[in-house]
Amino acid sequence: ESLTEMYALPRYDEIDPTPLLAPFYLIFFGMMAADVGYGIIMLLGTFLVLKYFNLSEKTKDFIKFFYYLSFSVIIWGFLYGSFLGGIIPLKGLFEPATDYNTLLILSVIFGFIHIYYGLGLKAYIAIRDKKYKEALYDVGFWYVALTGAIVYLLNMVMDLPEIVKTISFWVMIAGMVGIVLTGGREATGAVGKAGGGIYSLYGITGYVGDFVSYSRLMALGLSGGFIAGAVNMMAGMVAGKGPIGFVAAIVIFIFGQTFNLGLSMLGAYVHSIRLIFVEFFSKFYEGGGKKFNDFRSKPKYINLR
């Protein structure tokens, strides 16, 4: 809810996006901060704060938010095989140092699902409001054009049958024609309608940028792990140089890992919000509602006589 309030509360005629964004935020945050050690620190830290500190309801909800996120960080840490940058060897599903192409593809697939889901919600709202033409024009044709374009581009990197390439090409063209013919429907005059349609088709460049934007899921996850590994390497270089070196290694390790923990959490928090607000909400959500305030007194002190 805090993320939705940060963007804008839903209007009376909109759907509440809070439960819709939560699963994606969990996945994105965990993938960008992926480390078992950092997740455990988050889990224990938030648990202790919730248990032993007297917090306001709003602060408590914010800490709980990170408490739940810590589980995603731990899971993705196991998938990456990362524990404080490799200080404890783990066998992960991915090897970040060599599987970066796989992780990039996975990031773009998450983006594909996320954007298509947002468009689907836009279509749902239009159909719910009995705006069937808008659902077809503003979502249906985009589905057709984007799907055709994606499959057609896949033919350039995969050995797919020639018929798939031909069909995907004409599906892409059909979607684009539909966008051009309907994108300027609110304009007056043939020139205005044609110009509006062509301008609408230009929006496909925005979708390309949206898909590329999800590469940050891979980039931040790898950078955090590499920085943690570099901290371990620097600590290891001085650890064997007598008692002073050993103490220096401990200081480097604690300071470096703490710094990287804060950097990873901040980066995952900010960039996950960015993917939700810009790439997801822009497809179906505007906001602009006002928070409900019940009509009652909220006294801070009560006099007992």
**Tens digits of residue pLDDT in 156-210:** 777 888 898 899 999 999 999 999 998 888 888 888 888 988 988 888 888 889 9
Mean pLDDT of the chain: 88
Separation of first and last alpha carbons in the chain: 40
CA 234, 240, 241: angle at the middle one, nearest 5?
95
Q: Identify the pLDDT of residue 290.
A: 63
Burial 133-142 (b: 16+ CB within 10 A, else e): ebbbbbbbbb
On the question of pLDDT at 233 being above 70, the answer is: yes
Domain ranges, ordered by start, for the chain: 2-283
* pLDDT at residue 305 in the model: 59
What would the pLDDT profile of 25-55 be if each residue is shown by its tens digit?
999 999 999 999 999 999 999 999 999 998 8
State how far the Cα of 296 lies from the Cα of 184, in Å rounded to an integer.
Answer: 49
pTM for this predicted structure: 0.86
pLDDT tier at 58 (50, 70, 90 boundaries)?
confident
CB 279 within 8 A of CB 56: no
Q: Is the pLDDT at 294 greater than 70, yes or no?
A: no
The pLDDT, as a whole number, for residue 299 is: 60
| pLDDT on residue 292 | 58
Minimum mean pLDDT range among 15-24, 174-183, 227-236: 15-24
36, amino acid identity: V
Which one, of 256, 272, 258, lies nearest residue 221 by Cα? 272
